[in-house]
């Protein structure tokens, strides 16, 4: 049996701001261990009994393609990356993945996983996946329900048509929305309700038949977008115009609820398998606090932190010393350009701060001070009226685009490594402790011809210093202006 891992990486994780941001969301961050959540998701399916595991397939927004490809490369798990030109929720994303999985004539079992979940007990997860794979191979659509530990109001629930004991697969009776506390307690007492995890297994052909039966409009739009798409190495691009017309819907609403209600006889059987493996969707800071290791006072401390007489507090430092004294049930998160202080019971409301940042047009809601690019990264060190200072790191062999700026000039100082600079028709090398100047309006390119990272200080000066003042003429990464 061939299992095709499908990792859905479309979320923005706004409730984990300021660590998670729109342009670099939580699935790309190492929140639990050295691996990012995306890398940990891929690693946990390395060994499934009785199954061959295909290279992971990631479905993501085009904007994340390079950093996701790099994260997969770092753990030796390169695989196809399906690029969505627009976010259309999970049902279209899975439909594109199913089409991609069958592109060479095969029909693997898809293991569908969000990229931003945490599972502590990986062997328990792998054992349940092996059970689900056998059912999916037989034509069922399988989902995994999390054995509830408390009357949680932040999750949707799945009602099993029978007892929902560990390891006992049951037919899905219905899906229910996030309940109030009293209803959640009734679900817990009933014993046959499970948290909806968003984890699924089914054969690719089974999903395509189900989505065509339930949502022919989604199926048709995705198939047209796929058939008109192109392949660029591991990047599988769908047609932008065709996908633009695709309706937005979730896997649950588009198909799973209709399977549970037996809406059509042609639909496959829906099965839920209980999963008790230390699962969390780390949807907010309090959820992250719950899964991280704590000291005797219930505190979680990461980075350069000092805590005195504190209890049940999470303190995170990204760049400076964070000291907490005599506090309880607080979330304190420091990054180079923003600090969050929140009560642990109010972390769901962090989204309101992000919404305010967006309304005010502030960059802190979208970007970190350090921004990753396919060629490396840059860090905004300082800024003021008519100037901006950046620390730039270019990976060995990498190259920025051939470009020009209408409103700014740039002064480059090489700190480490050697830069190859193209300015108009001339090319030359700039070594450590040397500098060069790029006048306003001149075509230029920066390359790292060496074997070590190139580190530079860039000083921009001009009337406008926004990142959108870039006119690209050539780019090896396929980016437009």
Q: What is the pLDDT of residues 76-132, one digit of tens each?
A: 999 999 999 989 999 999 999 999 999 989 999 999 999 999 999 999 999 999 999
| C-alpha 473 chain-centroid distance | 30
Whole-angstrom CA distances from 407 to 67, 124, 440, 442, 446 are 29, 57, 6, 11, 19
DSSP string, 68-97: HHHHHHHTT----EEEESS---HHHHHHHH
d(C-alpha 249, C-alpha 251), whole Å: 7
CATH superfamily of 370-474: Jelly Rolls (2.60.120.10)
Token representation of residue 342: 């929140």
Identify the CATH number of the domain defined by range 2-280: 3.90.550.10
Beta bridge partners of 41: none
d(C-alpha 234, C-alpha 83), whole Å: 10
pLDDT digits (tens, 9 = 90+) for 202-256: 999 999 999 999 999 999 999 999 999 999 888 999 999 999 999 999 999 999 9
Query: For residue 445, is pLDDT > 60?
Result: yes
Orientation of helix 90-101 relative to helix 204-214, angle to 10°: 140
**Beta strands 81-84; 109-114: pairing state:** unpaired
- Percent of the chain scoring above 90 in pLDDT: 85
Q: Which residues of 411-448 are buried (b: 16+ CB within 10 A; e: fewer)?
A: ebbbeebbbbbbeeeeeeebeeeeebebeeeebbbbbb
Whole-angstrom CA distances from 8 to 30, 68, 211, 245 are 17, 12, 17, 20
Q: In 272-349, which ranges are continuous DSSP H helix?
A: 285-291
Query: For residue 163, is pLDDT > 80?
Result: no
pLDDT digits (tens, 9 = 90+) for 369-424: 998 999 999 999 999 999 999 999 999 999 999 999 999 999 999 999 999 999 99
Residues in the chain: 481
Full-model pTM: 0.90
Provide Rg for the chain, Cα atoms: 25
| C-alpha 292 chain-centroid distance | 20
Query: For residue 154, is pLDDT > 90?
Result: no
Please say whether the beta carbons of 417 and 450 come within 8 A. yes
Q: Is 231 exposed, middle or buried (0-12, 13-18, 19+ CB in 10 A)?
A: exposed
Name the residue among 15, 8, 101 with its Cα closest to residue 349.
15
Give me the pLDDT at residue 165, please.
60
């Amino acid at each position: 049996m061939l299992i095709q891992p499908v990792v859905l990486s479309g979320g923005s994780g706004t409730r984990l701001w300021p660590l998670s941001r729109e342009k670099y969301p939580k699935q790309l961050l190492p929140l639990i261990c050295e691996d990012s959540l995306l890398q940990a998701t891929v690693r946990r399916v390395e060994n499934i009994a009785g199954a061959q595991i295909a290279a992971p397939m990631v479905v993501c927004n085009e904007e994340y393609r390079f950093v996701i490809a790099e994260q997969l490369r770092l753990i030796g798990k390169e695989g196809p990356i399906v690029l969505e030109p627009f976010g259309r929720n999970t049902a279209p994303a899975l439909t594109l993945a199913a089409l991609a999985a069958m592109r060479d004539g095969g029909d693997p079992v898809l293991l569908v996983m969000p990229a931003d979940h945490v599972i502590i007990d990986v062997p328990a997860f792998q054992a349940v996946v092996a059970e689900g794979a056998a059912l999916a191979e037989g034509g069922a659509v399988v989902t995994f329900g999390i054995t509830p530990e408390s009357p949680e109001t932040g999750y949707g629930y799945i009602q099993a048509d029978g007892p929902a004991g560990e390891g006992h697969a049951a037919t899905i009776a219905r899906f229910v929305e996030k309940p109030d506390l009293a209803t959640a307690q009734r679900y817990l007492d009933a014993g046959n309700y499970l948290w909806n995890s968003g984890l699924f297994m089914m054969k690719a052909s089974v999903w395509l038949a189900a989505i065509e039966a339930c949502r022919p409009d989604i199926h048709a739009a995705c198939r047209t977008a796929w058939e008109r798409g192109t392949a660029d190495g591991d990047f599988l691009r769908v047609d932008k115009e065709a996908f633009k017309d695709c309706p937005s819907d979730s896997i649950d609403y588009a198909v799973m609820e209709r399977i549970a209600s037996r809406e059509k006889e042609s639909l496959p059987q829906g099965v839920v398998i209980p999963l008790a493996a230390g699962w969390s969707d780390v949807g907010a800071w309090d959820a992250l606090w719950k899964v991280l290791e704590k000291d005797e006072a219930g505190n979680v401390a990461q980075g350069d932190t000092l805590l005195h007489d504190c209890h049940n507090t999470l303190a995170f430092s990204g760049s400076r010393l964070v000291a907490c004294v005599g506090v309880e049930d607080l979330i304190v998160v420091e990054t180079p350009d923003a600090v969050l202080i929140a009560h642990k019971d109010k972390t769901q409301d962090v989204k309101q701060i992000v919404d305010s940042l967006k309304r005010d047009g502030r960059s802190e809601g979208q970007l970190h001070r350090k921004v990753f690019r396919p060629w490396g990264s840059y860090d905004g060190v300082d800024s003021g009226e008519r100037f901006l200072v950046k620390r730039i790191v270019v990976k060995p062999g990498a190259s920025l685009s051939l470009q020009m700026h209408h409103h700014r000039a740039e002064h480059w100082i090489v700190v480490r490594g050697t830069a190859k600079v193209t300015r108009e028709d001339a090319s030359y090398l700039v070594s450590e402790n040397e500098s060069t100047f790029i006048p306003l309006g001149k075509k230029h390119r920066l390359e790292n011809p060496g074997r070590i990272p190139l580190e530079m200080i860039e000083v921009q000066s001009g009337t406008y210093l926004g990142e959108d003042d870039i006119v690209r003429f050539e780019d090896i990464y396929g980016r437009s202006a």
